[in-house]
């Protein structure tokens, strides 16, 4: 009597149920297989390849269920990421990131010092790994907490670099004893796009793609106060009325 391990595993369409039934039935399957070997006809023993095939089938079902679990997790994580990211469109965010794109001759970063430092060196590095600008901070910029750095797009010779390139901010901080002070770099801006790739969800901030999970804070973009612009036609009418009253 041949044993069909796929029947014991249940329908593969429901991973959780199938996995549970497979675990519950595995011992039964092995007991039946052992009993089958013990009670086989000694004059006509079963071919050993049948045992191998049945075990391979059982293993194959188990692997398929595990694959289904991984796919379900991937779909869940991807769906959650894209939904969260879409809700960020048009909002101002701050995210852990050390890259910024030079736009209109300027690139902005923010960073956080874990504790007070006595020496902080800021380097701007291009895509080739070359340091194009180096600066030292002083005063309040050495204190623990959040700080900002705005680069004017000029290299160490004073030449203005072209817009559109992406640059990396590299900060080295040390205390009075020469020990390294922890630094976290951030980028801040309005989310203008959402994209998926390689199973991950990315948002676009200031022209740079960032993993949505890097976002640390979200804020509404401040609305610009509208100013009433005088209507030229009404202004003429007002002037005529004023003239008539004067007469």
Q: From CA 26, how far away is CA 3, in angstroms rounded?
A: 12
Cβ atoms 85, 213 nearer than 8 A: no
Cβ atoms 212, 96 nearer than 8 A: no
Q: Where are the domains of the chain?
A: 5-86, 92-219
User: 92-219 maps to which CATH number?
Assistant: 2.60.40.4070
Q: What is the pLDDT of residue 199?
A: 75
**Nearest Cα to Cα of residue 71 among 143, 22, 12:** 12
CB atoms within 10 A of CB 100: 26
Q: What is the mean pLDDT of each run of 10 residues along the chain (247 residues)?
A: 42 52 65 75 68 69 66 53 74 92 94 96 96 95 95 96 95 96 94 83 89 88 57 49 45
Cα 39 from chain centroid?
59
Tokens of 34: 């052992």
Tokens of 188: 């801040």
Cα 232 from chain centroid?
51
Tokens of 194: 């959402």
Q: What is the pLDDT of residue 167?
A: 96
What stretches of the chain adopt beta strand conformation (E)? 92-96, 99-101, 107-113, 119-125, 131-136, 145-151, 166-174, 183-197, 200-205, 208-211, 215-219
Q: What is the pLDDT of residue 2?
A: 44
Q: What is the pLDDT of residue 10?
A: 41
| Gyration radius of the chain over CA positions | 34
Q: What is the pTM of this model?
A: 0.56
Cβ atoms 109, 100 nearer than 8 A: yes
Q: What is the pLDDT of residue 71?
A: 58
Tokens of 95: 């995210």
């Amino acid at each position: 009597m041949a044993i069909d391990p796929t029947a014991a595993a249940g329908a593969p369409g429901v991973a959780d149920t199938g996995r549970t039934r497979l675990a519950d039935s595995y011992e039964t399957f092995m007991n039946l297989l052992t009993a089958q070997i013990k009670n086989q006809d000694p004059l006509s023993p079963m071919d050993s390849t049948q045992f191998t095939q049945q075990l391979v089938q059982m293993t194959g079902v188990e692997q398929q269920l595990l694959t289904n679990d991984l796919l379900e997790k991937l779909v869940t994580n991807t769906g959650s990421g894209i939904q969260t990211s879409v809700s960020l469109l048009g909002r101002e965010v701050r995210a852990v990131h050390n890259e910024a794109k030079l736009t209109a001759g300027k690139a902005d970063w923010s960073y956080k010092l874990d504790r007070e430092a006595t020496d902080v060196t800021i380097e701007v590095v291009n895509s080739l790994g070359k340091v194009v600008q180096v600066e030292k901070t002083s005063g309040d910029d050495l204190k623990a907490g959040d700080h900002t750095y705005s680069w004017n797009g000029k290299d160490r010779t004073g030449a203005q670099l072209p817009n559109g390139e992406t640059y990396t901010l590299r900060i080295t901080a040390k205390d009075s004893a020469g020990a390294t002070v922890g630094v976290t770099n951030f980028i801040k801006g309005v989310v203008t796009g959402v994209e998926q790739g390689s199973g991950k969800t990315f948002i676009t901030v200031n022209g740079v793609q960032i993993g949505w999970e890097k976002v640390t804070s979200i804020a509404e973009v401040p609305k610009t106060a509208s100013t009433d612009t005088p209507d030229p036609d009404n202004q003429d009418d007002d002037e005529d009325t004023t003239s008539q009253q004067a007469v």
